[in-house]
Chain A
Amino acid sequence: MDPIFTFSDFSFGYLKHELLFHDLELKVNSNSVTLIQGDNGSGKTTLCNLMSGLLTRHKGQFLLENHNMDKLSKKDISEKVVLLKQNILGNIVAATPEEDLIIWQEKFRRKCSEDDNEKRMKAFQLYNMEEFLLKPVWELSHGQIKRITLAALLLNSKKFWILDEPFSGLDSKLISILENTIKDRKNKNFGTLIVSHRSEFHTDFIDEIYRIENQGILKV
């Protein structure tokens, strides 16, 4: 099993005298499903932001595959991993769901191919979004916006997924769709890291559970 992330002797804090992580040791496998839990304010979101390159300054060793995180460009990181932010509106940049997913595909560099369009439509269908594809984001409900972000993940199936509270605000039907997607990915050797408070998982698809505690992380 190859680790996608390796933390060793790792420390991080927003303020110098207030460390959030101290001497953290953690290996996250690239092809399995890892669940991270912890109390409110323990640093789960911070960990996600560090792994997706949104936060930098850290101390100690922090590798993505075998590369030092510091040495990788933002673009390199974005080609390996994708993050679903907990603050769901923070995942959306465009005015409508349709435009938002087109930006994921075109990246302002190219035009969508037929193949892209088909892929996008499939993603929308899975989350049952046809009726509000062209509606402005600021008129949608929380749950509908969440579905945009989940559909966007499907366009990044070959990357490692980092999901910060993906299940919150979802009804049971949507939860099982997302769970099945994660299981599917695992069978194809693509891993996922989930930060969640949900304790009543069908734990059959989760390989490792960690808990953030006292500035470190423990295997459960």
Chain B
Amino acid sequence: MERKTQVHAETGRQELLITRQFNLPFELLFRAHTEPDLVAQWMGTKVLKLEAARHGSWQFETSDAQGNVVFRANGVFHEFEPNRKITRTFEMENSPFAVQLEFLEFEALSADTSRLSMHIIFKSVALRDQLLQMPFAAGLNMAHDRLEKTAGRLLPPIS
């Protein structure tokens, strides 16, 4: 079975390539990355700030069920070309991980399908491999369970 989301992590290189095809027009795919409400829904995090423009900054925060902050990340936008391209930094706060540079490219495949390529550059090979290995999704997933319940109430089932 073809995997929808592909991750290429060549050994010995301090980068990653994540690609994914969506059954969405590319405008909607792009919008999902620029509107705080939408980002919050699919990333499963609270969006404290999202200034989707060149030189704008963003900050996300995720809390556990008790309200303790378990994850906070921030960054800035460097390039911002609507419907085409976003270049941004990503930094996890209070973590040993250095800031990473992310190049997002949005591409129309047809009227109703699109592709996202995320090219992520790390400070070192070791940091990339460490990030891949750590169960870092845990922080986000705690909130994710709650989110699914909320989303399940709000959203009609997808046909």
Asked if A pairs with B, the answer is: no
Chain B residues with a Cβ under 8 A of chain A:
none
Chain A: residues with CB nearer than 8 A to chain B? Answer: none
